[in-house]
Amino acid sequence: MNNKKKPEIKATFLGTGTSQGVPVIACNCDVCQSSDFHDKRLRSSLLINIGNKNIVIDAGPDFRQQMLREKVQALRAILITHEHADHILGLDDIRAYNWVQKNNMEIYAEKRVQEAIKRIFDYVFAEFKYPGVPKMQLKDVTDTPFFIDETKIIPIRCLHYKLPVYGYRIGNLTYITDTNFIPDEELEKAKGSRTLIINALRREKHLSHFNLDEALAVIAKIKPQKAYLTHIGHQFGRYANIEKELPQNVFMAYDGLTLTV
């Protein structure tokens, strides 16, 4: 019997917004005009600190701003859920870590996503490279669990409409974003998680994301001690109002929120 204690995880929400962020450009709705800092949302991303090493899940267009805000001095690796712009366009800014750490940044993604990264950042993989381009080491993600040093990562296959994407379980923490369907056998991988982070775009049904009711139904199946909603759109409403309606163990995430798992 293995009684070894799992290492403590500190998880910080780098961003909790949908692809356009909140506020949305040129939008005058109540949420976008809110002065509450809880309603200011950069593109969704999570910083995980485990064993004094930092791992980031997704690097969208706000990656540079997020790293500066949280004063992230070292970064071990980046996990990618899928290839949409709001999850990968910040990868160019790993250049600073290349320089400081004197190594290539390990980017973990499935083969299809790697091909998109190679296409978008073609100058990184060119035969004759421009000086100072980012240095990436692409690492395969499949349905099989893998390790980053001593940290075990369990990929969880989900669907973002018809696009296969990955969520990730690390110890007692499961992170699932940009998803509107999770097969039962994949849900099993998340059961036993102490903390679940899951996307809930808005109240109304959406083609490719869970809405509030659907996210709550998944939470009820997984039964975490606590659950946090992320990848939130401005149509959802204001943080202060939604928080009052949620079950006792479910919370709205917000940018800069840090959890200890």
Question: Where do the domains of the chain lie?
Answer: 9-253
Decide if pLDDT at 218 tops 80: yes
Summarize the confidence of residues 205-234 as an average pLDDT.
97
Please report, for residues 27, 109, 237, 240, the alpha-carbon distance to residue 80 in angstroms, rounded to integers and kept in the order given: 29, 5, 28, 31
Superfamily for 9-253? Ribonuclease Z/Hydroxyacylglutathione hydrolase-like (3.60.15.10)
Q: How confident is the model at residue 245 (pLDDT cuts 50, 70, 90)?
A: very high
pLDDT attached to residue 3: 54
Percent of the chain topping pLDDT 70: 98
Q: How confident is the model at residue 1 (pLDDT cuts 50, 70, 90)?
A: very low
Summarize the confidence of residues 41-68 as an average pLDDT.
97
Torsion sign over Cα 11, 217, 212, 200: positive
> pLDDT, tens digit, for every residue of 78-115?
999 999 999 999 999 999 999 999 999 999 999 999 99
Please report, for residues 83, 114, 145, 193, the alpha-carbon distance to residue 111 in angstroms, rounded to integers and kept in the order given: 11, 5, 16, 27
Decide if pLDDT at 147 tops 90: yes
For residue 121, list its beta bridge partners: none
pTM of the model: 0.96
